[in-house]
Amino acid sequence: MTGALALGALLLVAARPVPRKPTPVEVALKAHVETLASDDFDGREPGTEGETKTLRYLARQWFDIGMEAGTNSPADGWFAPVELVEREPMLSRASFLRGRKRVTLPADSVFVVTSGLRSLVQDAPLVFVGKGTMASPPRAELAGRIAVMLDSLPEGMTREQAGDRAGRLLDAGALAVVTVLDDDRSLEDVIARRRRAGYAIAGERIGNEIEAFLSPATADLLLAGTAHATTAKLQSDALSPGFAPYLLGITGTFEATSRETRIKTHNLIGKLEGRNPSAGAVLMMAHWDHFGECGAPPAADIICNGAIDNASGLAVLTETARILSRGKPLERDVYFLATTGEELGLLGAMAFAENPPIPLDRFVAAFNVDSTGLVPPGGPIGIVGKGLTPLDPLIGDVVKRMKRKLAAGEGANAYIRRQDSFILMQHDVPAVMVSNSYGDMERTERFMEETYHRPSDQPGPWIDYAGMADDVNLQVELVRAFADPKRYPARAPAASAKRP
């Protein structure tokens, strides 16, 4: 009996699948992610010691690969300086007069915020502009006045379609914009979002605009005793076919201040030199920054490590460069860009576009890598930017030669405005993000809902390094194809590409 049991146990052991040994690329990718997303790097926040450690690590890796410094500026070498301005809302004050009588409202029932350091509007008349969706707001009605609009939109219109309603009203001459929150957003929601610091590139025109927000209940108190006594009346008027802006018989005074902090940070730029730089260049990019400490005590883990977002992209970028450096020299130069400030509003990409190492029109194609390692190898390939650039035909040919398939539809384009290649597209550089992670939108959406921008985005067995290596192979073949003038002879005119 004992011998039979022993034999059975041996057979069971023999029947178990032998664990697959990771490839050298997978081992390298794992090492990069575990280093860059370690607590020692403290969440890779711009302007901190975490930035210094991140850029020092990447620059050393890129130098060892054989890259050259890519800023093309002797003074900067590898590191292109980017100065950011952080503005945090401080004072919020509002008062109203109905005729000559002051309107008493509950404390903190109106939230006022400015894009500048200090903004003040005194005793300006309030004019109701409906839902503020007019393409060309009436300047004569707005000049010297405070525009009041409803937050709700016409039926069937999305916020993306409506665009920046407050911005259009301010551009048309309104001194300030008051939004009555009659839709899904509450005043608490707006305060929580707008109380966060805002960021811009130093030197960029930030403006001194002022906005205010109040609930329908507060609006009803404000309107009491006027000809337009309730929010419901405003809503009814806004829907009438012949609606035109009208004065509310109320004047307002708003004051808001912000605290400003300057943050000195950097983009990292490297280059693999091609044999024929006059033929243009290919750009590979991934953002290096994350949020630093994003939790609060008593939580046990308060560091946002950003393993998938975006230590994974940096790892793929680095190992793509390593493989390319070992192969046959390419015709075109290939630039590698690790951007700062992506999480703060794609600011590092903006800085790169404003001060590129070569004229932007020399880049024949740009490929961003952001949040990979979510899916196993072999699945469909998604394109963020599908149908929006002239790059699609050759991308399709590369994928076909790799015996792979493109994901059906354009679901990945939901992320077009949320990643760095969008900025380059606005400067007429053909830029996309091509990845197997965006070929499986179910897994990607699950990551976004459960892990994205949380302390739980850290190294662990849930990261698929084989799938990440799959993306490395894809990026290598894409760069080889687009760096070959015979396969991609010339950049198509910008006018031929659709703007997102």
Per-residue pLDDT tens digits for 256-309? 999 999 999 999 999 999 999 899 999 999 999 999 988 667 777 889 999 999
Cα–Cα distance measured from residue 42 to residue 49, given in angstroms and rounded to the nearest whole number: 8
Cα–Cα distance measured from residue 385 to residue 432, given in angstroms and rounded to the nearest whole number: 5
Is 450 buried (19+), middle (13-18) or exposed (0-12) by CB count in 10 A? Answer: exposed
Report residue 23 as tokens: 């490839």
Residue 498 has pLDDT above 80, yes or no: no
Q: Averaged over 448-464, what is the pLDDT?
A: 94
DSSP for 296-327, please give it.
-TT-S--EE--IIIIIHHHHHHHHHHHHHHHS
Per-residue pLDDT tens digits for 184-227? 899 999 999 888 888 899 876 667 899 999 999 999 999 998 88
Beta strand extents in 357-470 (DSSP E only): 363-368, 382-384, 431-435
Biggest CA–CA distance in the chain, Å, is 103
DSSP for 169-227, please give it.
HHHTT-SEEEEE--SS--HHHHHHHHTS-EEEETTS-----EEEEE-HHHHHHHHTTSS
Residue 11 has pLDDT above 90, yes or no: no
CA distances from 293 to 297, 300, 304, 448 (A): 11, 12, 6, 19
Q: Give yes or no for a cis peptide into 245 (omega within 30° of 0).
A: no
pLDDT given for residue 226 in this prediction = 86
pTM, to two decimals: 0.84
Q: Compute the half-sphere exposure of residue 293: CA atoms within 13 Å on the CB side of its CA.
A: 9
Under the banding of pLDDT at 50, 70 and 90, the label for residue 496 is very low
Cα–Cα distance measured from residue 482 to residue 491, given in angstroms and rounded to the nearest whole number: 10
* Structural domains of the chain sorted by starting position, each given as residue range(s) with its CATH number in brackets: 24-84+264-496 (3.40.630.10), 86-260 (3.50.30.30)
